[in-house]
Structure 1
Amino acid sequence: MKNLKAPVVITLLLALVSSAHAAIDLTAITGAFTATDVITAVMAVAGVLATIYATMTAARMALRWIRGG
Structure 2
Amino acid sequence: MSMGLGLIGGVIANNADSSLSEAAPIARLTTEPELILVSANSPYYNFSDLLKDWKDNPSAVAVGAAPLRGGLIT
Q: TM-score, normalised by structure 1?
A: 0.19
TM-score by length of 2: 0.19
